[in-house]
Amino acid sequence: MDRRDFLKNSAAAAALPAASGCAPAPPKKGQLKLAMKHVSADEDLRVLSAFGVQHILGDMPSRKMDEHWSVEALTRYRERVESHGIRLEMVALPLSAVAVERSENPNIMLGKSPERDREIDNICQMIRNLARAGIPAAKYNLTLLGVVRTESSKGRGGALYSTFDYSKLNKDEPPGPAGQVGAEQTWERITYFLKRVIPVAEEYKVKMACHPHDPAMPKDRPYRGVIRVLDTPDGFKRLIQIAPSEYHGLLLCQGTMSESLKNPATEILEVIRYFGSRGRIFAVDFRNITGGYLNFQETFPDNGEVDMLEALRVYRDVGYNGMFFPDHVPGIEGDTRSRQAFAYALGYMHALIRMVNEERG
């Protein structure tokens, strides 16, 4: 289910009054933050503000370097979000999670020069403009395949859970436009990008949050010609070592990382400790699953393998104080655009975050 459609065109959202001139409250030091991602419409922001959400990862202003990425346009975007009492903490760069054939900047991961150099130059300018507009972080993906799933399965109350069962995957699908790409070829392309981009992010003090490949795949058999490399904790350990910087880290998708583990209930806590203690977690997709490596279902946050309250305590204890997003909510019959499912997830998360924040004192 796509969070981009959260409450879009909802009559209830449109009926709420605007919060014009309502500047966001300064964040409390050390507090975990309830947040939402990939929203930008005023009607959605009004609803989120009513729910107590004070931080967002905004949509990309456009899918190419144009006037929407100018400093002036980005500043107006930030000010419009702030008028609802919400902070625009991060913006998505046009390096999305879709397969490379539908990517906005495909040549970065296809490794095709000089086209990739022009695309990287545009990304660098976007980072500079974000900084000048007062937006402190950017989210991005470096993927060739996009998100891979098999047929959905039924869960609690008949809700549909997004599912991946490797045994049911057609492993003989032909390679896509990227062709055959081994692990080291992929690392070369990632390294080429990071060596150009992270110094700019560091200079302009913009945090770069990379999202994992979803889901993890076996390393001894390509899928559609590709070996994935950013689908496990070990892959991200290598990623942050390529360009060491306090501005180079993760959008830690807790669900995706759990999908790569044989025992998510215990192993994910160590993943959080590793990256959190090094200050490399910049935002969190707070998603739960049942199952684990090569066979999992995406559940509601309260009925998966991971104790989400315990996970929040680990984030807090390693010093993380950033955003937590609901992510990939199950499908409920009659729940148009997943409005109810996202509202449920936000309410559940709000309660847990408040509990953990108050325990700090």
**Domain coverage including residue 43:** 3-360
CA 208/CA 136 separation, integer angstroms: 9
Each residue's pLDDT tens digit, 40-88? 999 999 999 999 999 999 999 999 999 999 999 999 999 999 999 999 9
Can you give the three-state secondary structure of 258-307, one letter per residue? HHCCCCHHHHHHHHHHHHHHCCCEEEEECCCEEEECCEEEECCCCCCCCC
Q: What is the CATH number of the domain that holds 179?
A: 3.20.20.150
113: three-class secondary structure by DSSP: coil
Strands 150-154 and 137-140, by their bridges, are: unpaired
CA 297/CA 3 separation, integer angstroms: 18
Tell me the mean pLDDT in the region 218-234: 97
pLDDT given for residue 4 in this prediction: 53
If one counts the domains in the chain, the total is: 1
pLDDT given for residue 25 in this prediction: 65
pLDDT given for residue 97 in this prediction: 84
Evaluate whether 207 touches 249 at the Cβ level (below 8 Å): yes
- For the entire predicted model, the pTM comes to 0.92
- The b/e string for 272-281 (b: 16+ C-beta within 10 A; e otherwise) is beebbeeebb
Pick the residue with more confidence: 1 or 157? 157
Tell me the mean pLDDT in the region 201-211: 98
Q: What share of the chain is helix, strand, coil (3-state, %, to 5)?
A: 40, 20, 40
